[in-house]
Amino acid sequence: MKSKKELYEIAKDFYAGLIFSDRHLKSTAAEMASTFMPLALGATFPDVNDVGMIFEYLDKAGPRSINGKPMFMSLQMLTKTETDTMFDFLDKIAKADKKMKSEIEND
């Protein structure tokens, strides 16, 4: 289980565009497996019914891509609860950024 601090860091990195996730895909099994190679090679999760998001940092992508999508030889996952918390943080980060940009533009 990831801590709230870890989830906040993931949210910041997701917002900054440093993370590629299953949310960037059409979520077909073939597309998931060709992007996250451990899935094609039979990776298993402790509780597959509790997988909320699969992701990896873009700097860990391999040198090749398939249909414009990066390929990873590793992956990370969040549980459904962790995913909800991370997206709550992401929403707050986006709102704060929008507010700051508005204040700067109106200065």
CB 14 within 8 A of CB 86: yes
Give the per-residue pLDDT at 52: 93
Q: How many whole angstroms separate alpha carbon 15 and alpha carbon 93?
A: 8
Q: If we measure between CA atoms, which residue out of 82, 67, 81, 63 comes closest to residue 30? A: 67
Segment 47-80, tens digit of pLDDT:
778 899 999 999 999 999 888 899 999 999 999 9
* Nearest partner of 94 among 84, 106, 83, 102, judged by Cα: 102
Full-model pTM: 0.88
For residue 60, how many other CB atoms are within 10 A of its CB?
13
